[in-house]
Structure 1
Amino acid sequence: MNILYLNNEMTIGGVAKCILILAKELSSENKIFIASKEKGALLDEFKKIGINNISLYDVENKSPFNMVKNVIKIVKIVKENNIDIIHSHHRMTTLLAKIASKFVKVKVIHTQHLCIEDKFKLTNLALKNIRIITVSESAKRILVEKSNLNGKKITTIYNTIETSCKNKEVDTRLIELKNKGYFIVAQVSRIIDYKGVYDFIEVAKKTGLKCKNIKFFLIGDGPELDNVKKTIIEQNLEETIYILGAKNNVIEHLKYIDILLLCSYIEGLPLAPLEAFSQGVPVIATNIDGTNEEIIDGENGYLVNVKDTEGFKNRILYLYNNKEKFIYMKEKSKEIFYERFNHDKYIQQHRQIYKKLKNK
C-alpha cells in the first residue's frame, strides 16, 4: 500500500524519529511518502532511505487561507501518488488530512504523542471519527475523558527506538570527563521550558555543592538555548554543566552516561528514557503521565514530583553512593526495555492497524 506520513516538521525529536523507524521498516513492502515543513534536521535521514519530503505550508498558521492551501496540497499529493493511508502525527495535519479525505478517497489515522492539557475541543474536532494510536495509556485516557473521543477507536502502542547508530562520533568533552573518572548525569531533550531545563540547572547546582565528582550534560537544542547558556554563566556553573547541542546519535553518547534525568512537565511517552534503558542507563524523571508508564520506581529508575529539585538531587547522590543498587538498576533497565518496548512488536502492531484500515 501507499502510505503518507504527515507532521509539522521533521526535527530531531521523538515524533520524527518514530516516523523514521516506521518508514525504514515498512518501505520494503509499501511505498512511503512524507510531507512536512521544507526544513527539518531529520530530512537527510529520510533521503538516505530514498524518501524525499513533500513541502507543506506551516500548519501552525491557522488562517483560513493557509489551511485551504494545505488541504489542496494534501489532496494533490494523494491523487498524484495513489495514497491509501495518511498517517498523521500532528493535530493540525490530522485535521487538514481529515478535510482532504472529504474530497479524495483516502483513510486517515492519527498518532497522539502528547498527554494534552488544553485545547480539548479542537482535539475532538481534529480526531473525531478516525482511527487513533496513542503512545501511552495516559494519553488515551485524556482523549476519552477530556476530548470525549471514542475509546474503541483508540489503540495504545508504546514507542520504540533504534538501538544502533552508524555515526559513532561522541563529543570529546563527554569522553574526556568520563575517562577522568567523573560520574556523568545528563538530560536529553529539547531546550524548552516545559522540559524542565531550568530545574535541571538547579539540580546540577545543588548536587554539585554536595559532590564535585558529578558532572552534568544537557543534550539538545531549542528556543531556550541562549537563556540557558546565560543562566549557567551567571551562576558560575560552567565547570558543572556542559551543553552539547542536538545530536543525531544519542545512543552513542549514552554509552558514556551513568544516569539520565528528565525534568519535564508534560510528555506523551518520551523516547530519551527508552534510549537510556537500551544502553543500561537508569532514569530519574518527573512522575507525570506517560513517563510513569516507562519507569518502575526503584527498578529501572526513580520517579520524583514535578519541580522537586531536592528529590532529583537525593536520588542522584543515592545511586552515586550505592554501587550495588546502581548496578542492579542498570541490569533492570535493559531487561525492562526488551520486555516492554520491543521494536518488532511496535512494527507489527502498526502493520495490523494499516491492514485493517485499508480493508475496512
Structure 2
Amino acid sequence: MRIVQLITHMNEIGGAQIHVRDISNRLVHDGHLVTVISGGDEKIADELLIGAITYMHSKYLIRNVNLIKDFNSILDIRKKLKILKPDIVAIHSSKAGVIGRIVCWSLRIPFVFTAHGWAFTEGVGKKKKFFYRNVEKVIGKLSKKVITVCDQDRNLALRYRVLPSEKIETIHNGVLDKQNTVLMKENREIVKISMIARFEKPKQQLELLKALLFVKELNWHMTFVGDGSFKKICTKFVQENYLGHKVTFLGSSSIVSDILSDSDLFVLTSAWEGLPLSVLEAMVHGLPIIASNVGGVKEAVIDSENGFLIRNNLSELLSILVEDELLRKRMGEKSREIYEASFTFEKMYTKTISAYQNLILSGENV
C-alpha cells in the first residue's frame, strides 16, 4: 500500500506524534510505502525521525485557525496528494483532521481520521467545546470511518451526535514493549516518582507539586520529563518551597524507557486526555499509576487495582503508595498484566491495518 500519514506537526513529541512514528515504522517494515506530511515547524524532532520514511512539510498547516493559511493548506496538501497518489491517507490531530478530510474527500482518496482525544472533550472551555463540536459535526459528514483511541471518546462523539455509531471504530492505543531489565527496587529508601508530559495547560504539573508539598516529609524523589511554557512556573514553585533536593526537571529526553524502568510510581495529573500513551508506557514497565479520571484513563487504570484515579485526594494517594511498597508491587504487576491483555502495539497495529484495507476496498466499490 501507498500510505500517507497527515498530522498537524512533528516538531514536538506527543501521543499522536509517537503513534505516527511507530505505526509508520512498522508499515515500512512490512513493505508499505509511507509518506508523512506535517505542518508546524519544518524540523522534525530527532526522536520522531525514521530513516525509511519520506517526510514532506506543508508550511500553511498550523494549529490555530487562520482562514487564509487554512485555505492555502488545503491547496498545498491537495497538490501533494495528487502527486503521491496514495491508496489511503491516515489523518491525525484536530487541525489536520479538518483540512485532511476536506482534501481527501475532494480527491476521492480513501481516508481515516484518528481522534487522539477530541478537541471538545470534558475540561475544555465552553466556547472552544461548542466551536469544535460543531466543526466536527460538519466535517464528520465527509468521513466513512473515524477511529477513536478509547471508548470514552467514542461515547463522547455519540452523546453530542457528532458522528453516527456506524462511522466510529474504537481501536485502543497500544505501545511497544520496551521493558528494560528490571532494576533492583526493593528496600530502596527513596521512592522514585515520574511524570512524562509536556509542560502545557492540560497536564497540570503544578497541581502535582502542590500535592507533593503536603507529603514533603516522606521519602520520595520526583522526576519530570518534558518541556513547555509552564515549566518556568513549576521550577519557581520548587525553588520557593525548598523542594529542589526532591524534584528534578530533566526536560525532553530520549531515555524515557530508562527513566520508567528506574521508577517506582507514575503520576499523570491532566485536566483532559484521550488515552495517554505515557500511562501505557508506565504500565509496560510494571508501574502503579496515579492519574486524573479523565478521557479514557479509566480504561487503562482500574481504580484500586493497578493504581488510583484522582478525586481531589492526590496528596492522600501519594502518601499511600509512597509508604506501602507491597501495594506498589502488587499494583505494578497488575499494570503489566492489563497492558499485555489490552494495550500492546501488536493489537493496535493489526486492527489499524485492517481498517485501512477495508476503507480501500470500500473506496474501490464506490
* TM-score normalised by length of structure 2: 0.88
For residue 330 of structure 1, what is the aligned residue in structure 2? Answer: 332
> Is 2:50 the counterpart of 1:36?
no
Cα distance change on mapping 1:179 and 1:126 into 2, 3 Å? farther
* Deviation (angstroms), 1:22: 0.8
CA offsets per residue over residues 81-121 of structure 1, 9 Å max, x none?
11121111122212212222344231121111114331210
Cα distance change on mapping 1:183 and 1:40 into 2, 3 Å? farther
* Deviation (angstroms), 1:42: 5.3
For residue 319 of structure 1, what is the aligned residue in structure 2? Answer: 321
> Is 2:94 the counterpart of 1:91?
yes
Residues 8 and 61 in structure 2, CA contact (< 8 A), matched pair in contact too: yes
CA offsets per residue over residues 1-38 of structure 1, 9 Å max, x none?
11111111112111100111110111133111111125
Cα distance change on mapping 1:18 and 1:268 into 2, 3 Å? same
For residue 113 of structure 1, what is the aligned residue in structure 2? Answer: 116
Correspondence list, 1:4-153, <5 A: 4-10=4-10, 11-27=12-28, 28-37=30-39, 39=41, 43-56=45-58, 57-115=60-118, 116-117=120-121, 118=129, 119-130=132-143, 131-153=145-167
CA offsets per residue over residues 49-77 of structure 1, 9 Å max, x none?
32232111233243332122111111111
The equivalent position to 2:214 in structure 1, one of 199, 206, 209, is 206
* Deviation (angstroms), 1:312: 1.9
CA offsets per residue over residues 119-146 of structure 1, 9 Å max, x none?
2101212333411000111111111212
- Tell me the distance in 2 between the aligned counterparts of 1:102 and 1:289: 29
For residue 172 of structure 1, what is the aligned residue in structure 2? Answer: none
- Tell me the distance in 2 between the aligned counterparts of 1:291 and 1:62: 29
Residues 174 and 280 in structure 2, CA contact (< 8 A), matched pair in contact too: yes
- Tell me the distance in 2 between the aligned counterparts of 1:74 and 1:149: 25
For residue 290 of structure 1, what is the aligned residue in structure 2? Answer: 296
CA offsets per residue over residues 127-186 of structure 1, 9 Å max, x none?
3341100011111111121243111110111111122299x9xxxxxx9x9997411112
Query: Which contiguous aligned blocks of 4+ residues in structure 1 show a shift greater than 6 angstroms?
Result: 177-180
- Tell me the distance in 2 between the aligned counterparts of 1:183 and 1:102: 52
- Tell me the distance in 2 between the aligned counterparts of 1:231 and 1:40: 34
Residues 178 and 184 in structure 1, CA contact (< 8 A), matched pair in contact too: no
- Tell me the distance in 1 between the aligned counterparts of 2:77 and 2:269: 37
Choose 20-29 or 278-287, whichever is displaced more. 20-29
> Is 2:198 the counterpart of 1:190?
yes
One-letter code aligned to 2:81:
V
Residues 204 and 270 in structure 2, CA contact (< 8 A), matched pair in contact too: yes
Cα distance change on mapping 1:126 and 1:232 into 2, 3 Å? farther
The equivalent position to 2:174 in structure 1, one of 160, 167, 172, is 160
- Tell me the distance in 2 between the aligned counterparts of 1:324 and 1:334: 16
* Deviation (angstroms), 1:299: 1.4
Correspondence list, 1:227-266, <5 A: 227-266=233-272
Residues 178 and 256 in structure 1, CA contact (< 8 A), matched pair in contact too: no
Residues 211 and 315 in structure 2, CA contact (< 8 A), matched pair in contact too: yes
Residues 8 and 90 in structure 1, CA contact (< 8 A), matched pair in contact too: yes
> Is 2:275 the counterpart of 1:269?
yes
- Tell me the distance in 1 between the aligned counterparts of 2:338 and 2:172: 13
* Secondary structure in structure 2 of the residue aligned to 1:336: helix
- Tell me the distance in 1 between the aligned counterparts of 2:3 and 2:110: 10
Residues 116 and 274 in structure 2, CA contact (< 8 A), matched pair in contact too: yes
Q: Percent identity?
A: 24
Which structure 1 residue ranges, 5 or more long, are not aligned? 169-174
- Tell me the distance in 2 between the aligned counterparts of 1:41 and 1:256: 31
Choose 17-26 or 39-48, whichever is displaced more. 39-48
Residues 154 and 170 in structure 2, CA contact (< 8 A), matched pair in contact too: yes
Cα distance change on mapping 1:326 and 1:47 into 2, 3 Å? closer
The equivalent position to 1:350 in structure 2, one of 349, 352, 359, is 352
Residues 117 and 295 in structure 2, CA contact (< 8 A), matched pair in contact too: no
- Tell me the distance in 1 between the aligned counterparts of 2:295 and 2:83: 40
* Secondary structure in structure 1 of the residue aligned to 2:176: coil
Residues 86 and 107 in structure 1, CA contact (< 8 A), matched pair in contact too: yes
One-letter code aligned to 1:303:
L
For residue 302 of structure 1, what is the aligned residue in structure 2? Answer: 308
Cα distance change on mapping 1:156 and 1:198 into 2, 3 Å? same
